[in-house]
Structure 1
Amino acid sequence: MTTTTTGRNLNNRFYQLTREPALMIGVIVIFALLALFILYPLVSAAKLSLAPEGKLTGDVYRQIFTHSQYLRAIRNSVTLGVIVATLATAIGFLFAFALTRARIGGRKFFQGMALLPIISPPFMFALSVILLFGRNGLITAKLLGIDMANIYGLKGLIIVQTISMFPIAYMTLSGILQGIDPDLETCAMNLGAKRGKAFLTVTLPLALPGIFASWLLVFVSSLTDFGNPIIIGGNFDVLSVQAYMEFTGMGNLPRGTALAILLLIPTVSVFFIQKYIMRKKSYITVTGKSSRRSTAQTGKGVTILLTFVCGIISAFVLLLYATIISGSFVKLWGINWHLTLDHFAYSWDVGRTTMKNTLFLAIISTPITAIFGMVIAYIVVRKNFPGKHLMEFLSMLSYAIPGTAVGIGYILAFNKAPFELSGTAFILITCYVFRNVPIGVEGGIAALKQISNEIEESSINLGATSALTFRKITLPLIRPAFFSGATFAFVRSMTAISAIIFLVSARWNHMTVLVLAQTEIMRLGVASVMSFALIVVIMVFIFIIMKLTGLGREQIFGTTK
């Protein structure tokens, strides 16, 4: 009976596909693109690591797991990930709780501070920490007169990764806490529980799945981070940088590829675990969302404490940004404090073409990414065809793939016939699109599930095609999700480093790669100017999007008030 029903459903899906030629062509094209630009690079990387000389062998992995250098890199990556995930999730939870459950002052300011690190170049905070706490740091050398050159390594990485990654936890947990009905806490207090007891027995248990999911997301982000460790990691070897050094610096392609593949195992595993947890999050809102705002659930003392903690974190974030701006004007940080515009002049001469190319590639890839993501989301949610779950999985898979593995995979896959694309603008745009499309897909799916499909069915019943219905009916209704996906795609394109560092060329360089190069030769003033310029460009883009669309910051970034 079950087999017969399954066969009938499969036949119905094929029948619907053949009834809509545009849908059938679209499904085939999307599957082909996902296979070519997501699966093919991964297969190429795995093939090189398992068969470096054309014959299947495990020698490369055997060398990795018997060599202390690589075992130390694995151990360091996990240690760093656990510490950063714990601290960043705690800070993210404090911000989310303060903004959704407490009546603290300056809500918009603190929300802005919780989102600001998202738009930063990947190693901007590392550069700021060096300027503040390094050998010639403003605080350590100038103000305190002490040597904290050991800011390089685990200590510095914990600081910069925690600050740059706590927004990941905040964005997840703010939605989770907003979805918990505050009446549940009120009922607990009406039954005699104190505020603290109500929090520990009601709010915290309901938020635990979201906390764990946030922890996993930050853990993976720390594990795969490349920009910060290569700047401030020092002798603290981590897996992502070790893979890059083996692949490019030492020329050991199989070993570098194998290290990148090892990064892939925990990230994909965590991706599935996190998706499973978040799929279950609907169980936390038993009574439905309350009609009143979920604020004023804390006492005065707790509110003051939350305000103080959020204020300290926000002040530190602002200090890091102020340091980058100041470093742009100081002649030689830590030695010659005279103000100068020389760094701007040099940056203009060296970096204007690179900035123009970076902006051009981001502008080209952003609408492609957003539209492609919305199309996939629409097809997956609204259409019934064979392989729809596989399409959703493949479109989201690139979110779980470390940038180092993506970059190495693209180099191996597209450096020879029949897809010889290395060194071109096309390969960079393609990398941006398929790295960032999961954001649009996830946002589009969430938005479409909130819209009744009867609206679209009415349009089709009146004679409109699926393509026309999508363009005229569906797309306007999911406008916030579309522009949110576009904004994130632009930001991630402008601040990319781990994947595209393998793909840039003399003709098509990227601003983050240039910043990295300037930092490595200790031109910290020039690196500060370039980082500052990236931030300004990104903020101007976000401002323009908000003005043109009329969407607020909460809608653009997908957060709640």
Structure 2
Amino acid sequence: MEIANKEFSNKIKKMLKNPSLIILLILIFISLFIFIIFPLYKVFIISFTNSENKFSLDVYKEALANDYMRQGFKNSIFIATLTAVIGTFIGFLYAYTINRANIPFKKFFRTIAIIPMVFPPFIGAMAIIMLFGFNGLLTAKLFGIRTFPVYGLWGLMIAQVITFFPVAFITLDGVISTISPTLEDAAFNLKASRWQVFTKIILPLSVPGIASTMLVLFIESLADFGNPLILAGSRFPILSVQAYLQITGMFDLKTGSALAVWLLLPSLIAFVIQKYWIGKKKYITVTGKPNTSQLKSVNKFAKWLLFTLVLIISLFILLIYVTIFWGAFTKLWGMNNEFTLENFKYVFDVGKEAIKDTLTIALTSTPISAVLGMIIAFLIVRKTFPGKKTLEFVSLLNFAVPGTVVGIGYILAFNSKPLLLTGTFAILVLNFIFRYIPVGIQSGISLLNQIDPAIEEAAYTLGADDKTVFSKITLPLIVPAFFSALVYSFVRAMTAISAAIFLVSADWNLMTVQILSQTDSGRLSEACAFSVVLIMLILSFVFILKIFLKNKISLVNNNYASE
């Protein structure tokens, strides 16, 4: 106990010598409290009070007594579990095939695997309706089938897996690529079979990554709103949609908040397990040999079998997104597929303000979110202060919070003075900043852990302060993480729907809300045109940012070389 107190007092003394650090930490903690903790607190509070603002469990009792709402919770858990299992399996199949099978077209497969990440999350759902719905291109037009169960479990599961499996691929690609092939060579030299090498080496070393990936996909699927809103249907209720309908359709904030809390609990449990238990379990392989081994993990039959499976999945994903582009140029999808440009005229007429608003909000929130993420990562890795673990947990918390919960929380928290922000530009920007900083923080932490602190210590020895060290040394060295944070924040701000749908107003609208509105109205061709414009804007931003940061990296490298 005395040792702990002594360490705490030493931290305090060290901090007092650096007042700028104290001010920065205070500002960050206040910001995180106001824009992350306070909205969640409001959701909990209103769900536990009655009409007289006294503590009550009546809302939960009514929700639990409602068969339809209970079914919504069960369906949400079920579809999230299916998405986690199937998405992780496909992601592992992709990653293993690319890293351990000498197949052609690896660059093509990698590109296809990340395509869903730059598309609005519910685009896949829209394409599934266009392909397999009542007037679907494949079901109705090609095979004459008009009874395919596109709405409900099957359609939603396909959309969720396509939307979220790239997360699994990226994670597991990193895991498998770091397993040295020399371990497999050694096993083969000891007369092990390929199946034994896979089950005794590759699979056990991948287990922490697989478990972590499944939990991440579970959280992502449970938090999703766009796909269920389009595909779940009334016969397959999903809790995130029910919470939204309670607030927007029934104007019942208490029940909507109770359902949001109900949805939040499994997400938080999965987040804590992933972050603080499985996240700590890693197997490290150490070898002094370079990874120059030939790929022997699969024989010729397995190689072409894996290639065929990955090709089929890739072509299906490609079909999904080609359908969106095709639909954008048709007069009336499913009824009149003649070529037309009228849909784009409609977009730039009706949706002109939404395009401008979306770009303005995304371009404002993106740099702030990325820089704040880098600052918090720097504080967590490089500084010692009381409350560091609290800072890390709270700043990453929004990763686990479903967008529906965040949207409801912002409505409740910022609907009265002194923070009356509802319907304003500020509430959308602040939502995006604090919702998407976790990726920047995680990227920054990972990269900072690989940078020798001696570089920064040398600058401190020469009299540099924290601001100078961070801006002149640390930030240039973590440009790749900064780039990832910028891209992710921009893509998410451009494609957000779950929290944003609660926060848009007559003055500030988003393209994703327009796409959803067009889809609900049955105007699929117009919705596709909106989606194509949105995708082009995202790709243009990423391309420009890549060129800019490439030049920036070259400049930094030249400066260090000259010094």
Shorter-chain TM-score: which interval?
A: over 0.9
Q: 2:41 aligns with which of 40, 43, 62?
A: 43
Cα RMSD after superposing both structures: 1.5
Is 2:246 aligned against 1:257?
Answer: no
The equivalent residue for 1:559 is: none
Q: 1:128 to 1:115 in 2, by over 3 A?
A: same
Q: CA deviation at 1:298?
A: 2.0
Question: Is the partner of 2:338 in helix, strand or coil?
Answer: strand
Contact residue 91 and residue 166 of structure 1 kept, 8 A: yes
Contact residue 428 and residue 500 of structure 1 kept, 8 A: yes
Counterpart residue type for residue 138 of structure 1: L
Q: CA deviation at 1:279?
A: 3.1
Structure 2 residue runs of 5 or longer lacking an equivalent are 552-563
Separation of aligned partners in 2, 1:338 and 1:268: 48
Separation of aligned partners in 2, 1:501 and 1:294: 51
CA distances 1:170-229 after superposition (whole Å, capped 9, x unpaired): 111111112223222222221111111110111111211211111111112111110001
Is 2:28 aligned against 1:30?
Answer: yes
Counterpart residue type for residue 46 of structure 1: F
Is 2:71 aligned against 1:60?
Answer: no
Separation of aligned partners in 2, 1:66 and 1:350: 44
Contact residue 133 and residue 148 of structure 1 kept, 8 A: no
The 5 A counterparts of 1:533-544 are: 533-544=533-544
The equivalent residue for 2:181 is: 182
Question: Is the partner of 1:400 in helix, strand or coil?
Answer: coil
Counterpart residue type for residue 540 of structure 2: V
Contact residue 88 and residue 165 of structure 1 kept, 8 A: yes
The equivalent residue for 2:71 is: 72
Question: Is the partner of 2:303 in helix, strand or coil?
Answer: helix
Q: How many residue pairs align between the two structures?
A: 549
Counterpart residue type for residue 462 of structure 1: L
Separation of aligned partners in 1, 2:110 and 2:433: 28
The equivalent residue for 1:528 is: 528
Q: CA deviation at 1:252?
A: 1.3
Q: CA deviation at 1:6?
A: 1.1
Separation of aligned partners in 2, 1:385 and 1:113: 44
The equivalent residue for 1:214 is: 213
Structure 1 residue runs of 5 or longer lacking an equivalent are 552-561
The equivalent residue for 1:301 is: 301
Separation of aligned partners in 2, 1:526 and 1:416: 37
Q: CA deviation at 1:454?
A: 0.9
The alignment's TM-score, normalised by the length of structure 1, stands at 0.96
The equivalent residue for 2:558 is: none
The equivalent residue for 1:479 is: 479
The equivalent residue for 1:320 is: 320
Question: Is the partner of 1:509 in helix, strand or coil?
Answer: coil
Question: Is the partner of 1:331 in helix, strand or coil?
Answer: strand
Q: CA deviation at 1:9?
A: 1.0
CA distances 1:279-321 after superposition (whole Å, capped 9, x unpaired): 3343x12425852157613222222112111111111111111
Question: Is the partner of 1:150 in helix, strand or coil?
Answer: coil
Structure 1 range deviating more: 46-55 or 401-410: 46-55
Separation of aligned partners in 2, 1:331 and 1:279: 50
Structure 1 range deviating more: 10-19 or 184-193: 184-193
CA distances 1:66-101 after superposition (whole Å, capped 9, x unpaired): 210111101111111122211111100011111222
Separation of aligned partners in 1, 2:514 and 2:197: 52
Contact residue 101 and residue 295 of structure 1 kept, 8 A: no
The 5 A counterparts of 1:99-498 are: 99-148=98-147, 150-235=149-234, 236-282=236-282, 284-288=283-287, 291-292=290-291, 296=295, 297-498=297-498
The equivalent residue for 2:559 is: none
Counterpart residue type for residue 479 of structure 2: R
Separation of aligned partners in 1, 2:416 and 2:280: 44
Counterpart residue type for residue 13 of structure 1: K
Separation of aligned partners in 2, 1:46 and 1:510: 28
Structure 1 range deviating more: 189-198 or 396-405: 189-198
Q: 1:129 to 1:523 in 2, by over 3 A?
A: same
Is 2:502 aligned against 1:505?
Answer: no
Q: 1:258 to 1:452 in 2, by over 3 A?
A: same
Q: CA deviation at 1:251?
A: 1.2
The equivalent residue for 1:88 is: 87
Contact residue 95 and residue 169 of structure 2 kept, 8 A: yes
Separation of aligned partners in 2, 1:436 and 1:86: 25
The equivalent residue for 1:16 is: 14
Contact residue 361 and residue 429 of structure 1 kept, 8 A: yes
Separation of aligned partners in 2, 1:130 and 1:9: 60
The equivalent residue for 2:557 is: none
Counterpart residue type for residue 27 of structure 1: L
Contact residue 212 and residue 279 of structure 2 kept, 8 A: no
Contact residue 60 and residue 258 of structure 1 kept, 8 A: yes
Q: CA deviation at 1:249?
A: 0.7
Contact residue 185 and residue 293 of structure 2 kept, 8 A: no
Counterpart residue type for residue 112 of structure 2: M
* Percent of pairs with identical residues: 45
Separation of aligned partners in 2, 1:103 and 1:547: 32
Separation of aligned partners in 2, 1:386 and 1:232: 47
The alignment's TM-score, normalised by the length of structure 2, stands at 0.95
Separation of aligned partners in 2, 1:444 and 1:288: 27
Q: CA deviation at 1:149?
A: 5.0
